[in-house]
Chain A
Amino acid sequence: ETGVTQTPRHLVMGMTNKKSLKCEQHLGHNAMYWYKQSAKKPLELMFVYSLEERVENNSVPSRFSPECPNSSHLFLHLHTLQPEDSALYLCASSQGSGRDQNTGELFFGEGSRLTVL
């Protein structure tokens, strides 16, 4: 049983659809992350939220829009995606928000498998 829950586990959408991925962490952490995992590529960090503020955005296209309403919830809003956006989207959380308070251990959810037709 993971402390980070992602829904839906699988999503198929057309290029003109709007959908959202949801992540919830039950670990009391105050930093949350979105990663993209594509076949045969390293994990790509997309967004980082610390204390509900976005602290990193790694040049992600605007068709991906994150939202962090509180420290336990993280959303990834999707609109007008492309087929190359098909991937496994992983949410993670960690404890601590300042320098060296957090030694980097991330807790991942099971992922949301996205297919864009």
Chain B
Amino acid sequence: AQSVAQPEDQVNVAEGNPLTVKCTYSVSGNPYLFWYVQYPNRGLQFLLKYITGDNLVKGSYGFEAEFNKSQTSFHLKKPSALVSDSALYFCAVRPRNSGYSTLTFGKGTMLLVSP
């Protein structure tokens, strides 16, 4: 069975500073990996995904994530945080041959960016 761990319930960072939201996963074989963001009272929005190729994936709103196979991690990063980045972030994983896009999500990490 696949699983996703987001070890931090909350990450606090000052505006302008770099941010990292951590994610590790457990899945058999090579996974597809995703980050989603959820703003208050909204649904989840897709940020970026790793399929294959370059381990550094660039996504929406200046976010990027680095796939590390040996550490089974897919941490979300941004060089300079904005107050508007404050939201709930979800990491998700799907085995490559599972079909029907049955993603397994982590429990989410709340990112708070202070002015």
Interface residues of A (CB under 8 A from B): 2, 4, 6, 31, 33, 40-43, 45, 48, 50, 55-56, 90, 92, 94, 96-100, 102-111, 113
The 8 closest A-B pairs by CB, nearest first: A108-B43, A43-B105, A108-B44, A104-B94, A104-B101, A99-B99, A94-B101, A42-B107
CB <8 Å contact, A50 and B100: yes
CB <8 Å contact, B94 and A42: no
CB <8 Å contact, B46 and A106: yes
Q: Which of B96, B100, B106 contacts A55 (CB 8 A)?
A: B100
Interface residues of B (CB under 8 A from A): 4, 32, 34, 36, 41-46, 49, 51, 90, 92, 94, 96-108
| Interface hub of A40, A102, A104 (most chain B Cβ within 10 A) | A104
CB <8 Å contact, B45 and A108: yes
Q: Which of A31, A42, A43, A113 contacts B100 (CB 8 A)?
A: A31
Complex-state Cα separation, A92 to B44, whole angstroms: 9
Q: Which residues of A contact B49 (CB under 8 A)?
A: 103-105
Q: Which residues of B contact A100 (CB under 8 A)?
A: 96-97, 99
CB <8 Å contact, B100 and A48: yes
